[in-house]
Amino acid sequence: MSSSEKNISPLAASVGSVWGVGEERAKLLARLEIFTVEDLLLHNPRRYEDRRKFLPIRDLKEKEPATVRGTIIAAGIKRFQKGARSLFECVFDDGTARLHCRWWQAQAWMPDWYAVGREFLIYGKLDNEKKPRTFTHPETEYCEPGDDEFIHVNRIVPIHPLTEGLTARVMRSIIWRALEKYENELSVAGCKLRVENSVFATPKELLTFNFQPATLPERAAAVRMIHFPEELTDVEFARQRLALDEFVALQFQIQSRRKKFEAFTKALPCGGDNRLMKPFLSALGFKLTAAQANVLKEIRADMGGAHPMRRLLQGDVGSGKTAVAACSALMAIESGFNVALMAPTEILAEQHFRNFSKWFEPLGIKVEIQTGSRKIVSAPLLKSAVRGKPFTFNLQPSTLFIGTHALFTTGFDLPMLGLVIIDEQHKFGVTQREALVRKGNYPHLLVMTATPIPRTLGLTLYGDLDISVIDELPGGRGAIKTFVRTTEKLPKVFEFIREKIASGRQAYIVYPRVDVADTDKDIKAVTKEFANVQKALTGFKVGLLHGRVKAAEKEAVMAEFRANKIQALVATSLIEVGVDVPNATIMLIENAEHFGLAQLHQLRGRIGRGAHESFCILISDALNEESQARLKILEETNDGFKIAEADLKLRGPGELLGQQQSGAMRLRFGNLAEDLNLIRQARELVRKQI
């Protein structure tokens, strides 16, 4: 055996090494992403059945799912509608009563499988209280004679996620056997987690790092317990242990990546000397809030420090992140470096361009912009961009370069780049972020997001970044009132909007779609509603904005809206990010149930920016309780942090983060909405180790 082979854990062996897993079953398991023995052992059950005692069929109750055990005494197929529909039915008897089980669309294998005389375990619930007692589409398990009965009954048994061709019983048996054979290996093995490919390789130390928190079972015991618990209460205990292992693996990656980053990189001195900051602040027209000033202190310490800054600035919509970005940019520029600012949309890039030009040009700082549709920057640079080669351009230090994400990924190389600011880009993975920044050779990095990040995510997905929070809104803002209403109330709502517009204010009116889709005619679309809104608001000018409007026109519409030449803007969620028009005080969102909570909060953040009172009206006819509960949260609070935590609990991290990151982190046991304490524990454990 070579030395490298010796280091491979036996748990990394293919599932084929488990007795009972041949080529066919290995293929089926692969469909569940189970390739190794370890994958198999960590296949988390989706539920449990207490089979220590079976309920007599006689005692079954409607609405209460239960497991019974019975023998088939009759079975057959019924056909309806000239054979178009078929029903397979069999009758079980357990000595106390009979139970009819039925499946619509009988399958060819059913008569053989559900043969008279065979014994089954049946899990389901009564269709109703009527006789005969009937289960429709129950889950069943054949009690094969000679099978390892002790694995499957007289205990609490796991029901695992399955795939066609693989029964719960087979899955349970092979996991049982894998446990018997490999349990000892688990006690020394570390934990494995598929985390997105990082800039730096996964640390090898992970394989040998072992730890035992006093309050939780050992890893090997936890794995057994998660499949075959003595009591149902053991399951959560075991889950926590296995979740902790996952979080430890994750922290190991995050912390060692950070450590290596600090070891291999040196910071550019960008602390600044205030010579531009002073005139900037006095011309700004307002005083920074205490929260903004605090964050700037943290940023200055980073930019003047030994390692490149990696900081996430989190501040609710309207908290004034742009001013903080401007001050940070000035620090780098004062120190003789250039700065790049990346915005997620062209509208936002244009808005930043306008603001920053107004602020910076009087100070003698050049501000450049390049977006998909606007190419102001010098011709040679563009030519090389077209040829697909990275381009370098000659600018004197003290330029602020603004662009969209697309521009930055086509490859560019800004000389003397001291600071990269990414605005509103919470949907970026670490790798993407680093790839962007590394083009500029480890400049400082400031990522700004208006989506408040629940602490669990701050410590995991954003664990590479230090986090600053602006937790205070500038004063002098009117309050925002939020109401949830049904479409029935729309005429009244438009009446209200007319009044507000007549008194000089402006409104956003948002729909989920650009066009009406054939499949879902109930979801309103801007292109169709535009005419209706114009009618409802006759006498006022209404603008239209969505993803397919050409960029030049978008900018023209926004300019008119800013100048109050347009009083109402019909738009998709395109206006979600960053747009700042203080005179707009009305936000009407139809089909509100089609937006995520965080997204609705973002949209609402477009109003409440001036001194006037603002109104957010969410229209929804959604009847289901979850939708109602979600919208209610918005009515109750303006606190983005509370909303984000609620959203995370209701919808999971995927919605909050976008595919990029949630896909990168498949936790089998950990729960990013609930496990803050475990995550903290993991972080401390790893801190002590490395």
Q: Per CB under 6 A, does 580 bind ligand ADP? A: yes
- 613-622: b or e for each residue (b if 16 or more CB lie within 10 Å)? ebbbbbbbeb
* Residue keyed to tokens 């029935």: 488
Answer with the entry of ligand ADP, Mg ion, none that 608 interacts with (C-beta below 5 to 8 A by kind). Answer: none
Minimum CB–partner distance for residue 17 and ligand ADP (Å): 55
501-to-22, 72, 554 alpha-carbon distances in Å: 72, 73, 22
Structure tokens at 593: 């149930």
Nearest in space to 623 (alpha carbons), one of 501, 490, 522, 533: 522
Q: Per CB under 6 A, does 458 bind ligand ADP? A: no
Answer with the entry of ligand ADP, Mg ion, none that 528 interacts with (C-beta below 5 to 8 A by kind). Answer: none
Q: Per CB under 6 A, does 323 bind ligand ADP? A: yes
Answer with the entry of ligand ADP, Mg ion, none that 580 interacts with (C-beta below 5 to 8 A by kind). Answer: ligand ADP
Structure tokens at 172: 């349970």
Nearer to Mg ion, 69 or 609 (CB): 609
Q: Per CB under 6 A, does 315 bind ligand ADP? A: yes
Minimum CB–partner distance for residue 569 and Mg ion (Å): 18
Q: Per CB under 6 A, does 319 bind ligand ADP? A: yes
Q: How far is CA 539 from the centre of its chain?
A: 43
Nearest in space to 90 (alpha carbons), one of 107, 105, 77: 77
Nearer to ligand ADP, 22 or 285 (CB): 285
Q: Which stretch binds ligand ADP (CB under 6 A): 12-20, 153-161, 288-296, 359-367?
A: 288-296
Q: Which stretch binds ligand ADP (CB under 6 A): 214-222, 311-319, 540-548, 615-623?
A: 311-319
Minimum CB–partner distance for residue 541 and ligand ADP (Å): 23
Q: Per CB under 6 A, does 326 bind ligand ADP? A: no
Structure tokens at 6: 């010796």
Q: Which stretch binds ligand ADP (CB under 6 A): 90-98, 286-294, 566-574, 664-672?
A: 286-294
Q: What is the CB neighbour count within 10 angstroms for residue 155? A: 16
Residues 335/272, Cβ–Cβ less than 8 Å: yes
Minimum CB–partner distance for residue 152 and ligand ADP (Å): 58
Nearest in space to 141 (alpha carbons), one of 114, 161, 116: 114
Minimum CB–partner distance for residue 161 and ligand ADP (Å): 42
State which of residues 253, 292, 404, 425 lies at the interface with ligand ADP (CB under 6 A).
292
Nearest in space to 269 (alpha carbons), one of 422, 442, 392: 442
State which of residues 34, 450, 633, 672 lies at the interface with ligand ADP (CB under 6 A).
450
Nearer to ligand ADP, 267 or 296 (CB): 296
Q: Per CB under 6 A, does 318 bind ligand ADP? A: yes
State which of residues 271, 474, 478, 654 lies at the interface with ligand ADP (CB under 6 A).
474
Nearest in space to 450 (alpha carbons), one of 561, 572, 348: 348
Nearer to Mg ion, 525 or 577 (CB): 577
Q: Per CB under 5 A, does 318 bind Mg ion? A: no
State the Cα angle at 185 between 180 and 191, rounded to 5°: 120
Beta pairing class for 156-159 and 47-50: antiparallel
Minimum CB–partner distance for residue 319 and ligand ADP (Å): 4
Question: 132 Cβ partners below 8 Å, 6+ apart?
Answer: 91, 98, 99, 100
Minimum CB–partner distance for residue 424 and ligand ADP (Å): 8
498-to-33, 529, 545, 586, 628 alpha-carbon distances in Å: 57, 17, 20, 10, 27
- 581-596: b or e for each residue (b if 16 or more CB lie within 10 Å)? bbbbbbbbbbbbbbbb
State which of residues 41, 317, 365, 575 lies at the interface with ligand ADP (CB under 6 A).
317
Nearer to ligand ADP, 346 or 590 (CB): 346
Answer with the entry of ligand ADP, Mg ion, none that 609 interacts with (C-beta below 5 to 8 A by kind). Answer: ligand ADP
* Residue keyed to tokens 């000397």: 273
- Residues 587-626, interacting with ligand ADP (CB under 6 A): 609
Cis peptide before 415 (omega within 30 of 0): no
> What x-and-dash track marks residues 560-589 binding Mg ion by CB under 5 A?
------------------x-----------
State which of residues 321, 500, 546, 594 lies at the interface with ligand ADP (CB under 6 A).
321
Report how far residue 500's alpha carbon sits from residue 547's, in angstroms, rounded to the nearest whole number: 28
Burial class, 314, CB count within 10 angstroms (exposed 0-12 / middle 13-18 / buried 19+): buried
176-to-28, 32, 456, 622 alpha-carbon distances in Å: 18, 18, 34, 45
570-to-537, 557, 564, 575, 580 alpha-carbon distances in Å: 12, 11, 14, 10, 16
Q: Per CB under 6 A, does 452 bind ligand ADP? A: no
Minimum CB–partner distance for residue 358 and ligand ADP (Å): 11
Report how far residue 620's alpha carbon sits from residue 521's, in angstroms, rounded to the nearest whole number: 15
Nearer to ligand ADP, 356 or 530 (CB): 356
Question: 130 Cβ partners below 8 Å, 6+ apart?
Answer: none
Answer with the entry of Mg ion, ligand ADP, none that 194 interacts with (C-beta below 5 to 8 A by kind). Answer: none
Q: Which stretch binds ligand ADP (CB under 6 A): 185-193, 254-262, 284-292, 592-600?
A: 284-292
Minimum CB–partner distance for residue 450 and Mg ion (Å): 6
Minimum CB–partner distance for residue 289 and ligand ADP (Å): 4
Answer with the entry of Mg ion, ligand ADP, none that 223 interacts with (C-beta below 5 to 8 A by kind). Answer: none
Q: Which stretch binds ligand ADP (CB under 6 A): 171-179, 226-234, 320-328, 593-601?
A: 320-328
Q: Which residues bind ligand ADP (CB under 6 A)?
A: 286-289, 292, 315, 317-323, 450, 474, 578, 580, 582, 609
Q: Which residues bind Mg ion (CB under 5 A)?
A: 578
